[in-house]
Every structure is written in structure tokens, then in C-alpha cells.
Structure 1
Amino acid sequence: MIDLAKLRAVPPFAELSDERLQWLGDHLAEIHVKAGDVLRREGDTNPVFFVVLEGECQATKFSGAKQIPTNRFIAPSFFGGAALLAGTPAPGTVVAATPCHMALLPERAFKELLLSSEAFSRAIFRTSLDRLTTLEATVRNREKLAALGTLAAGLAHELNNPAAAVARTADCAVETLAMLNNAAVALSRSTIPPDAMSALDSLGASKGPAHGPAGDALQQSEAEDALLDWLAKFGIARPWLMAPSLARTGIRPADLEPLVTRLNEEQFAAGIQWLAATLELRSLVEETRRGAVRISEIVKAMKSYSYMDQAPQQAVDLHGGIEDTLTIMQHRLKHGVTVRREYDRSLPKLVVYGSELNQVWTNLIDNAIDAMEGKGEIVIRTGRDANDAVIEITDNGSGIAPEVMPHLFEPFFTTKPLGEGTGLGLDISYQTVVQRHSGEIRVDSRPGRTTFQVRLPLAPRGSVSK
């Protein structure tokens, strides 16, 4: 038999009459659990109200792929009321942190007590609201941090490629400079005629890197082999070091034959060595420039994406924000996703919270990639409809099930496996578009085509919420 004095110490039962408290004791099932026992798992639909008479319990919730602590229930305490009130699965997992003495109240008795006692119902509703608000705020912050971490990891990956290329070409440039120095010494010793030197210089200046398709790699390799054999025939030392640089810029044996007849073997060898080293160094400098430009573009996009050092609300070009988002998400797009842009460039700038809208584009594009399992086409379309700017993001994934559609924008609702999504991405997007910008967000889906449409007023509809 449960000690009624312990029951009265639990806040919702404090104001119950002795008769009602006795009734409650008759309807409770008493249990003792060990530390580490799982009392309720996230997603469970077991309708029961838990009363902690002795001990302590720890509540956690999946956020991303991790479980994060959300609450502690230290006796005298209770949990489970919110799920019973809403008729929804358990919002989190609860584990006994210490040995616990507990009581369980079935759903039927819980609802009867809720209707018969105003004090009990008021305490349950107030506590449930406070706990859900705290839980939502905790997981929202965690979601934002997780999204930031994902973006940071993607940026690190994107920056690493051009940075590694710059470092690699810098190392190669040191070696090539040494080759160029040796070539200059050889040229000075060979007393090559000025007109032949001018011809070599003109040949290098007139040729540029070949920009053929990937399928031309075989042709390029054949050109290198042919040039290597030709150079070897004329006694050029280590022709395999020079043939790639010359062939890569489009130089063929026919371009060099006029020099063979005008120069002796020493002069020709020195000239070829100088020309190959010069072209290789020029190629390395260009590769370094491309890497540096790519790094600069990524950093610029990140600053623009986050509106670093700028006011939160300002006149924003929607297309610029979308392009910044695509740049930041390049690590997710480049493995099989194509993006088709259909922009109405006549759209004016909108006074919005730019960084928050960019998070909306991030969520919608990220969901589209997941829906297509990383391979497919995303169409981003902008336009004007009456007094609204309209932004549509369409994917050719499998679509959204009809029974899921009514719940898409509910907090914590997700169709992803447990641990792979918090169910807050679309909720955050909805709050940003509707609450922060007085806009609308709609969805239309069928197999092979899902479109999320965001409508933003071209002129403010009243004041934007703070």
C-alpha cells in the first residue's frame, strides 16, 4: 500500500481531498526499479502517468544522431502527463538515474482525476506547458548548433580541396623554379641566337592549356607519348619530364621542327628545357590562382550567408542568398545532384532577416537532397505573384505520403529513422517564413515531384515580429 503522505508531497496531488487521495492510492500500481532501468522510450505509446516517490530519473531526447539530456525528475515528481493530454507518443526517453520507488497511474484514472480536480488539472497543464516549452527551446538550440556543425564540416571539406591544391602547386613551383634556373644557365652557355630565343618565347606565349572534355584524356596521353618519342630522337635528356608540360599547352612536334634546323643539339636541348620549365611554372601559377580564388569565393559566400558584421534585418537580394546557400552546401550537391535555376531577376530586394531566410533555403534544399537519396535534380524557381515574391524548390524524389502532409510543420515530427532527424527543420522554416516575415509556406507533392513554395510579401504586411 502506497503511503498517502508521500502522494500528497507530489505537487499535483497536494490539494486533493483525503477521499480523492485515497481513491488515487487505490488506482496506482506501485513499482521499484533499479538504476539504469528504462521506464519509457522515445516514441512509446504506452498510456501511463509516472509518479516518482523516491529516487531520481533522467530524461533524454534524440537530436540528430545523439541523445541529449532534457530534464531530471527528482522525487517527489512526475512525468508523462503531456503525452497523455495530447494523445501523442512519448517525446523522450526516461531512465532511472538511481534506484526508484514509483507509482503508475493508468490513462483512464488520470483523465478521471483531471476532470474531477481543478487543482490537479491546473498543475498538470501548467507543468506540461513549461516542460514542453523548455524541451522545444533546448532541442531547437541543439538543432541550430548541429546545423552549424554540419555547415562547418562541409566548409572545411570544400576549403581543404583548394587549400591542398595551393600547397601542392607551391611545392611543385619550388622544383620548377630550380629547373628554370638550370635551363637559364644552360641557355647562357649555349649562346642560342636571339631570333631563336624570340621564336621559343613566342611559341610559349601563343599556346595555352588545352580545355578539352574529360574524354580527351586518352588523346592527351597519346600526344605526350608522341612528343616524348620525338624529343628522345633528338637527344633531349629526360624527355619524360618535359613532354607533359609541352603537350598540355598544345605544342606538337610540328611546332618545334623549325627550331631543329636552326639550332645545334646543345642549343635545342637548352631551349626545350627552358620552354618546358616556363610553361610548367605558368601552369602552376594559374592552378594556384584558381585555388586561391575558390577559397576567396567560399569565404565570401559564408560571410554573405551569415550576414556577418551586418544588421539582422536589411534589404536583401533573394537570389544572392540562395546562391550563397548553394555554395555552402556544395559538399552535399556534388555527388549526384544537379541544380536548375529559373530566376526572375526583376524581383526587387526585400527587407528581411537574411541569415534566417538562408537557414530556410538550407533546410528545404537539405530535405530535397534526402528525398532524392543524394541523386536527382533540384529546380529553384523565383517569380512574382501579385504582391508576393514566390520562391519554389522542387525535387524529383519519391514524394511525401498523403498521411504525412498534415503533420509536416509540426515540431518534432519527422519521417526519418530515430536519431537521424529532430523534426524541427520544417518547423523552424515555418516559424521564420510565417511568424518572422508574415509570409506563407506551402507544399505540393506527388511521386517524382515535390515542391515547397515560400511566399514573401514584397511590401511589409504590418510590422515584422521581433
Structure 2
Amino acid sequence: MNAQVMPCDRQEIGSLFLFEKLTPEQLGRLCAEGRVERFEPGPVYVEGAPATCFYVMIEGTVVLSRRVGKDDVEISRTSQRGVYAGAMQAYLGDRVPQTYTNSMRVTEPTRFYVLPAQSFADVMQEWFPMAAHLLEGLFFGARNTQRAIGQRERLLALGSLSAGLTHELNNPAAAAVRATGALRERVGRMRHKLSLITQGTYSREALASLIEIQERTAERVSKATALSPLEAADREDEISDWLGDHGVAEGWQIAPTFVQAGLDTDWLSQVAATVDESILPGAISWLNYTVETELLMGEIEDSTSRISQLVGAAKQYAQLDRAPHRDVDVHELLDSTLLMLSAKLGPQVRLVKDYDRSLPEVPAYPAELNQVWTNLVDNAAQAIRATGNEGTLTVRTAREGDRLLVEFRDTGPGVPQEIRNRIFDPFFTTKPVGEGTGLGLDISWRIVVNKHHGALEVNSVPGDTRFRVLLPYTVPHEETDRNPTEEEPSTAEEPS
């Protein structure tokens, strides 16, 4: 920083619109406690440094920028006399972090009136106590309001997800209950059949053969693969005919179960060669119960595994026992979100995952990224359903330079050009009254840009809308745990 201290002229600073209503005595105090400095082209202060001074430009050109990932993005450039920046919230004291929220540089020799932050706070409290209270109320009120609205938006999303999760959990749970009831019945019949076998004239060798066949049958059932409907129908006919030829009554009822278990006539012939012909019908009936119980236990296992998978996805989505900020695999987050939203996607939406799983992890707040995925997936699904036809949602990951890309592409009607610049504005929505708050994209933008120092972009034409989330692979040194939905102090974003 190359600055030259110059005399403070009360008349000159009094001509600045910020100070034009002050008395000569007040202007004298400003000159006594502040100073005029002339800066050569270059930086004046940097984002994240302690906010020690309040700057008002007398003449020159000033540029403000914000850090996004590794880049400094220009947000304002002006030569308007009297614009101000710097320690804007000094009057709030230690209730907010007193650091510069942007970087300022000058592009030509520029003069500023410079007032130390504490002096700025003192004159605000002494000269404008009512204004200071009003500004304080506006600052904290806006921040609290935004936080409350953000929490409501998250609760609405959570309620919608909970309803979908309940539906998803109900299906496998009901299937497990049905299978358990049927299994109890089959085991009862098996016990009855076992009782009949033990009371019969079966030799020890015959019983040993039955048990061996039962073990081999159970092993074969566990390795069964699904057949096409045509293949299954042909095999059912073959097995039914074989059973009829070998004196097994009502073989047409047994055949579908054997086909589902992956059994065929070759296997039945092996059974017939192992046991005496006199006990073959009883052996087939006994093995039928074995097959049914194995299939039912497989159904119960599949159902409970599905329940476990859904609970795991819900836990991953909510990030319940995880650190708030850590390195994450975005694919795990995407998969958990998509699983949670599967019921909401519905039959009209075909989901395609185009992942580059070789991508490294990124530092992130995973629970909040899941909220971003939820908003973007939900919007894409609604856009597709709005067409009345089936459509495709493609979720793609890739690397773009030093950032990770997550892209959500839908085949909906697109975002009209006239509203494209407004979709990230708070409370802007095209949904009917009661169906949207207009905060989903605003909150998503804040999470991605403010919290993760990334970017959220949209490109849209009818039939091809793409929301692109870009996340940096490195964490800026000033990373904080501030709530991502808090309102950024607008007075520090650009010179006023």
C-alpha cells in the first residue's frame, strides 16, 4: 500500500454528499480525527483483513472485488466523487466480525478522506444516535428474517422429503410383513411334512439323500438369475410336463415356484436318480416347501436391505453424525439426495447419472450442498412434469480447471429469457401461489457462492436447461462457519 498523507480541507470534505449537512465544528472534528491520503495505483485494503478505516473517495477511480475460489471477481468500478467503503459496520462493534468484506484498489492516483473505524463508530453514535439504532435494527432484522425464512424453506423441503421417505419405507416394510406371514405358513407345512416323512417307511439312507438334496436346492436358489417372461413360460411348461410324467400331482402349481428358484428338468432328473421312485412325489413336495421358504427369506432380506439403504440415505442426506465442514465425495451426496427424492421424481422423469467417479473430494458443508441438490432436482422434475410428457433429468459431474462441476440438465420447457436474470432473486417464483416460496434458488446461490466460494450458473433453451454448480477444490484461508442463508451486508458490497 503506497499512500501519502495530505492536509485535510474542511471545505473540500464538506462538499462530499456524505458530509454536506455537517456543521463547521463537526467538519473540524472529522479533519482532526481523520486524514486525507493519496494512493498510487494498486491495492488499498484486502478482503478478510481487519477493518480499520472508513474511506470516502475525493477524486480518482476505485474498484471493489470479491474473492471467489482463487479468483478476485470485480463487483464495482466507479469514479463518482463521494462514494464510500471500508469499515461500514464499525458502529455495530464486536457483534459482527470487523473485517473487510471485499478488496479495494485504485487504478489511478486517488485521494480519500480516511477515518479510523473507532472514530467512525463514535461519530455515528454521538451525532446520529437514532440513525445508528435504525441501521442496527435493519442490519440484524434483515439477517434474522433471512435466517428464519431459510429455516422455513429447509423445513418445507424436509417435510416433503419425509413424506416421500415414508412412502418409500412403507413398500419394503409391507413386503417384509407379507413375506414373514407367508414364511410362517410354509414352515408350518414343512414341519407337518417332516412329521409325515418320519412316520413313513423311509430308510436312513433315503432321509440322508433328501437332506442332501435339500441343501443343494437351497444353494441353487441363492444363485438363481431372472429369466425373460418367454423363457420362464417355456420352462414352466417343461417342468409341469416332467412332474406329470413322474406321478407328481398338480405339478402346474409347483412349476412356477421351481422356475423362480432357477430349477429345471435336469435338476429334477438328478433328484429322481437320487431317491426311490416310490418316495419321489413326497420328496418333490418337501423340496417345494424348501424352495418357497428360501424365496421368502430372500424377499425379506431384500426388503430389509432396502429399508436399511433408505435409512442410510436419510442419514447421509441429513449428515447427522458428521462434521459440518469436511472433504466430501459429491457422488455420495448426490446419490443420497436422488434416493430421497425418488418418489417425487415420479414415472415421468427418467434419471440419468453421468458421473466421473475419478474426481477428487472437495471441501464442503455437505448438509447444505444436499439442500442445493434438492432444490435443483425438484425444480428440474417440476419443469419436466409441466410439459405433460416424459422427460430426462441428467446429473453430470466433471472437472473444469481447478473446480468441480455438478450439472443438472432437464428436458423441460426452459427458463424464458426475460426472467433468466431474476430467478436467483429472493421471493421470485413462477410457481402458482402456495406451491413455491421463491427462495430455493436464492438459498442455493448463497450456499454455493457465499458459503463455498463457488459459482451457480444457468443456461437454458427449450428442451435443454442446465444448472451448473462449480465448487473449488481449495478452501479460502478466511473460511468461516457463518450461516449461508444470512444476508450479506449490502452496504459493503459496492461503494455508495
Interval containing the TM-score (normalised by the shorter chain): 0.5 to 0.7
Name 1:94's counterpart in structure 2: none
Match of 2:398 among 383, 386, 391: 383
- How far apart, in 2, do the equivalents of 1:425 and 1:327 lie? 20
Give 1:131 deviation, angstroms. 8.1
Match of 1:304 among 316, 332, 335: 316
Name 2:441's counterpart in structure 1: 426
Name 1:211's counterpart in structure 2: 225
Change beyond 3 A, Cα 1:417–1:196: same
Name 2:412's counterpart in structure 1: 397
- How far apart, in 2, do the equivalents of 1:457 and 1:261 lie? 68
Give 1:229 deviation, angstroms. 5.7
Match of 1:161 among 171, 175, 184: 171
The answer to whether the 8 Å contact 1:196/1:259 transfers is no
The answer to whether the 8 Å contact 2:359/2:398 transfers is yes
Residue 362 (1) aligns with residue 374 (2): yes
Match of 2:358 among 335, 346, 358: 346
Once the two structures are superposed, what CA deviation does each residue of 1:236-276 show, in whole Å capped at 9, x if it has no partner? 45546533322322334454346557756651222011110
Letter in 1 for 2:286: W
Residue 454 (1) aligns with residue 454 (2): no
Give 1:369 deviation, angstroms. 0.6
Give 1:152 deviation, angstroms. 0.4
- How far apart, in 2, do the equivalents of 1:238 and 1:337 lie? 44
Name 1:141's counterpart in structure 2: 151
Once the two structures are superposed, what CA deviation does each residue of 1:351-404 show, in whole Å capped at 9, x if it has no partner? 211100110011001111111118321222222222222211111111111011
Give 1:157 deviation, angstroms. 0.8
Change beyond 3 A, Cα 1:231–1:323: same
- How far apart, in 1, do the equivalents of 2:241 and 2:356 lie? 56
Give 1:161 deviation, angstroms. 1.1
Q: 1:74-223 alignment to 2 at 5 Å?
A: 136-188=146-198, 189-191=200-202, 193-194=205-206, 196-197=209-210, 198-199=212-213, 201-202=215-216, 205-206=219-220, 211-212=225-226, 216-217=228-229, 219-221=231-233, 223=235
Letter in 1 for 2:225: H
Question: How many residues were matched structurally?
Answer: 346
Give the match's secondary structure for 1:372. helix
- How far apart, in 1, do the equivalents of 2:133 and 2:324 lie? 39
| Gaps in structure 2 of 5+ consecutive residues | 1-130, 483-496
Letter in 2 for 1:457: P
The answer to whether the 8 Å contact 2:349/2:385 transfers is no
Residue 244 (1) aligns with residue 256 (2): yes
- How far apart, in 2, do the equivalents of 1:258 and 1:314 lie? 58
Give 1:224 deviation, angstroms. 3.6
Give 1:346 deviation, angstroms. 3.2
Once the two structures are superposed, what CA deviation does each residue of 1:121-168 show, in whole Å capped at 9, x if it has no partner? 999999999987776555433322111100101111111111111111
Name 2:325's counterpart in structure 1: 313
Give 1:410 deviation, angstroms. 0.5
Name 1:442's counterpart in structure 2: 457
Give the match's secondary structure for 2:392. strand
Change beyond 3 A, Cα 1:196–1:435: same
Once the two structures are superposed, what CA deviation does each residue of 1:194-216 show, in whole Å capped at 9, x if it has no partner? 37534565455445575346xx3
Calculate the TM-score normalised by the size of structure 2.
Answer: 0.62
Give the match's secondary structure for 1:392. strand
Deviates most, 216-225 or 157-166:
216-225
- How far apart, in 2, do the equivalents of 1:254 and 1:128 lie? 82
Change beyond 3 A, Cα 1:170–1:262: closer
Q: 1:279-298 alignment to 2 at 5 Å?
A: 279-298=291-310
Change beyond 3 A, Cα 1:202–1:311: closer
Give the match's secondary structure for 2:350. strand
Give the match's secondary structure for 2:150. helix
Name 1:410's counterpart in structure 2: 425
The answer to whether the 8 Å contact 2:326/2:363 transfers is yes
Letter in 2 for 1:306: A
Structure showing greater relative contact order (alpha-carbon pairs closer than 8 Å, 6 or more residues apart): 2
- How far apart, in 1, do the equivalents of 2:330 and 2:270 lie? 58
- How far apart, in 2, do the equivalents of 1:293 and 1:258 lie? 34
- How far apart, in 2, do the equivalents of 1:382 and 1:254 lie? 49
- How far apart, in 1, do the equivalents of 2:166 and 2:290 lie? 33
- How far apart, in 1, do the equivalents of 2:354 and 2:261 lie? 37
- How far apart, in 2, do the equivalents of 1:139 and 1:156 lie? 25
- How far apart, in 2, do the equivalents of 1:254 and 1:296 lie? 38
Change beyond 3 A, Cα 1:133–1:287: same
Change beyond 3 A, Cα 1:209–1:315: closer
Change beyond 3 A, Cα 1:210–1:420: same
- How far apart, in 1, do the equivalents of 2:214 and 2:134 lie? 89
- How far apart, in 1, do the equivalents of 2:220 and 2:151 lie? 58
Change beyond 3 A, Cα 1:205–1:320: closer
Calculate the TM-score normalised by the size of structure 1.
Answer: 0.66
The answer to whether the 8 Å contact 1:235/1:265 transfers is no
Give the match's secondary structure for 1:379. strand
- How far apart, in 2, do the equivalents of 1:393 and 1:319 lie? 13
Give the match's secondary structure for 1:377. strand
